[in-house]
Structure 1
Amino acid sequence: MSQNQSKENQLLMEVTGHRLKTKGISVSSSLFTGLAKEATDCLNPIRPPKKQLSSEFIVSSSLKSRRQIEICILSRRTEKTLHIKHFVPGDSQGHFLAGTLFLIIALWWSTKSILKHVCKQQKRSSSLITKEFFFRAELLEGIVIIGMASVGIIGLYIALPKIHQFSDKDYKLALILHWHHLAMYVFFAILGGTKILCFIISSLPVSLVKLALSNAFFVEAFIFYNHTHGRSLVDIFGHQLLSFAIFLAGLVAFIEFLTKSNVVLELLRSSLIMLHGMWFYQISFVLYPKNRNYAWDLSDHNNVMFLTICFCFYYALTCAIIGINYALVTCLVKWRLSKLCTSETQLLKNHEQQEESEDEI
C-alpha cells in the first residue's frame, strides 16, 4: 500500500469513528474495518487519478468528501448492521418504575409473611393483629396490583406515538415489544382480580391466588426470554438473567400452590421478586446510561462475566434485607405485646386495689 493510500485510509477511519461516536455507538474492530472499506468504495467514483495529483490533493479531496462518506455509511450495509446490533428500544424510566414496584411488593409480602408467622407463635398476638387486618390487606393488594397493571398499559399507550419516529424495521420491532409488555400487564391484572374474588367469594379456594401468581411470573419469564431479538451480547445476557430470576419466583409460587402455607417458601419467593426488581435497575443502568461517554460496551464478553458477579451479589443483598426485615418485625411485635401485657397488668392491679378498698369500707 502506498503512502497516499495509507493517509487516505487513516482519514476515512477517523471520519467513520467520529460519526459512530456522535451516535453513541461502539463497534468491533472487524466491523469498523468493514465500514472504512465501504466508505473508501464510496469515494471511488469521485477519486481523481493518482498519477496526476499529489498526495496532499488526494487528502484534501477526501476532506471535501466527508459528507459523502457519512451518507454512504448510513445508506448501505452499515445502517442494517447497526440496527441489528445496537438498536435498544425502551427507556430507563420504564425499567426504573417496574423495578421500584416489584421491590415495594416484595418488601410488603415478606413483611406480611413474617407477621403471620410471628402471630402464630405468640399466643396473645390476636389482640394486636386480627384476621380482619389480613383480609383487608389481601383486598388492598388486589386493587393495587390491578392499578399497577393499568398504569403500565396507559404508559404503553402514551409511548405509542414515539415509536413512529423509528424506521420501518425499528417500528415493527418496537410495536411487537409493546405487545409483549401488554401481555405481561394483562396477566398481572388477572392476578389482582383473582386475589379480590377469592377473598370476596368464600366458595373459591384461596390457593387460586398462588396459581395466578405463578402463571403471571411464568408468562413474564417466557416473554422476557424471547424479548431480545437483534440485540447485543450484554443486552441478551442481562434479559436472560432477568427471566431466570422471574422463572424461579414463579416456580416457588407454584410449589406454594401445591403445599400448605410455609414461611420459608414465602420468604424465598419474596427474595426472588426483590432480585427481580433490583435487576431491572441494573439493566436500566447498563442499557440507558446518562453519560454516553461512559456507556457499557455491549459486545464485550468481560461485561457478561461481570454481570454474573453483580447478579450473585444482588441476591446476597436481598437475603440480607429479608433477614433484617424478619428481625425488625419480630422485635416490633414482641415489644408491642410486652407493652400490652404491662398495661393489662397495671389495669388488673388498679382493679384489685379498688376491690380491696371497697371491702375495707
Structure 2
Amino acid sequence: MGTFLGHVLPGSFFILYASWLMFHVFTKYFLGQRAVAGTTTRENGSSPTAYKSTCAHVFPCCPRIPLEGVFKIVLTLIGFLGELITGFEDGVFVHYGNAQHMTMYSFFGMSGAFDILVFRGLRAPPNLDYITLIIAFAIEALLFGYHLHGRTPLDIQVHMFMLYAIIFCAVATAIEMMYKRKVLPALMRVYFVMLQGTWFIQVGSILYMPLTTPWDENSHTHMMLATVLFCCHIGGVFLLMASVGWILSRRVKKMLSTSVYCQLGRRTDKSKMTQAEALDALGDSEEEV
C-alpha cells in the first residue's frame, strides 16, 4: 500500500461499497415512505414503521443471490493477492507493512463470507453479519493505529485523519445494528465509509503525488493545508449524499404505486407485493433496540 496505486485500490473499494449502500438505503427508505403513505396509525397511536436496516443488500435483478458478499470476497481477494505479490523481494517476504494490509483485507473478506452465510439462513446468534463488519473496521483501525512509527509529521497527520474515519465507521455500524428501524444510523455508515474511501485516495495523492511536485512532509503549512482538505472531504461527502438523496426521492415520488410494491418485492425475495405485504416486509412492528 506504500504507493499511489496501493491507496487508490482500497479507496476505490470503499467508495464503491459506500455508493452501493447509499443507493439502497435511500431507495429502501423512500420506497418505504411511499408504501406507508396514507395508512392508518396503530391502536397505540404510533405510525407504521417504514424502514428497517440490513447489513447487506440484494441486487433487485437477482434477490436470491448474495452478490454483495460475493463482491466483498472477490475485491478483498484482489487486494490481498496484490499485497502478497508486492511484498516479496528476491523470493523473500520483506515488506511487513504489506502483511498488515493483507490482514485488513482478510477481515473484510470474512465479513463478506458471513454476509453470504447469514443470507443463506445460517443458524447463529442474530446480527452476526453486523458483528463481523464491526470487527473488520476495528481491526483496520488497530492496524492503522500501529502503522505510523517513524513516519514524517504530515504522514502521521493524514493517517490519523484516516483512523478517525475508520473508528466512526465501526461506531456507526454498531449504532445501525442496535437501531435498525432508524435510517440515520444507516446513513452514518454510508457517510463514514465514503469519507474513508475518498480520503484514502487523497492520502495517496499527498504522499505519492504522481503528477506534480511532492508535498513537504515536514512543513507546518502543508500540514494545515491537509487539514483543510480533510474538512473539504467532510463537507463534500455530505453534499454528495444530500444530492443523491434528493435525486432518489424525486425518482421514487414519480413511481406508480404498483411499481413501488414491485420494487419492494424484489428487495425482499418476492415477485409481487400488496401494500400489507410491503409493510410486513419492512418490519412493521415495534422498534427494535
TM range, smaller chain: 0.7 to 0.9
The aligned residue for residue 81 of structure 2 is 154
Which of the numbers 43, 59, 72 marks the counterpart of 1:145? 72
Structure-2-length-normalised TM-score: 0.76
Whether 1:259 and 2:179 are equivalent positions in the alignment is: yes
The aligned residue for residue 16 of structure 2 is 104
CA 1:289–1:137 in 2, change beyond 3 Å: closer, same or farther?
farther
The aligned residue for residue 237 of structure 2 is 318
Post-superposition offset of 1:140: 0.8
Amino acid at match of 1:271: Y
Contact 1:91 1:284 in 2 (8 A): yes
Deviation sequence 1:288-324 (CA, Å, 0-9, x none): 12246x1110011221121111111101111111111
Q: Structure 2 regions of 5+ residues with no counterpart?
A: 38-57, 261-289
For the residues of structure 2 that align with 1:118 and 1:291, how far apart are their CA atoms? 42
For the residues of structure 2 that align with 1:235 and 1:134, how far apart are their CA atoms? 44
CA 1:339–1:211 in 2, change beyond 3 Å: closer, same or farther?
closer
Deviation sequence 1:222-248 (CA, Å, 0-9, x none): 101211121111011111110110111
Contact 1:208 1:257 in 2 (8 A): no
Which of the numbers 158, 164, 174 marks the counterpart of 1:244? 164
The aligned residue for residue 190 of structure 1 is 110
**Percent of aligned pairs sharing the same letter:** 28
Contact 1:286 1:296 in 2 (8 A): yes
For the residues of structure 2 that align with 1:271 and 1:155, how far apart are their CA atoms? 27
The aligned residue for residue 347 of structure 1 is none
Deviation sequence 1:258-289 (CA, Å, 0-9, x none): 23332111111111111101111111111112
Deviation sequence 1:178-232 (CA, Å, 0-9, x none): 1101110111011001111111116445522221111111110110121112111
**Mean alpha-carbon deviation: is it higher for 216-225 or for 250-259?**
250-259
Alignment of 1:19-168 (within 5 A): 90-123=2-35, 133=60, 136=63, 139-161=66-88, 163-164=89-90
Structure-1-length-normalised TM-score: 0.61
For the residues of structure 2 that align with 1:211 and 1:329, how far apart are their CA atoms? 29
Secondary structure of the residue aligned to 1:336 is: coil
The aligned residue for residue 12 of structure 1 is none
Alignment of 1:250-289 (within 5 A): 250-289=170-209
CA 1:211–1:199 in 2, change beyond 3 Å: closer, same or farther?
same
Structure exhibiting the larger radius of gyration computed from Cα positions: 1
CA 1:132–1:199 in 2, change beyond 3 Å: closer, same or farther?
same
CA RMSD of aligned residues (A): 2.6
For the residues of structure 1 that align with 2:256 and 2:169, how far apart are their CA atoms? 34
Secondary structure of the residue aligned to 2:215 is: coil
Contact 1:214 1:254 in 2 (8 A): yes
Q: Structure 1 regions of 5+ residues with no counterpart?
A: 1-88, 126-130, 166-170, 342-361
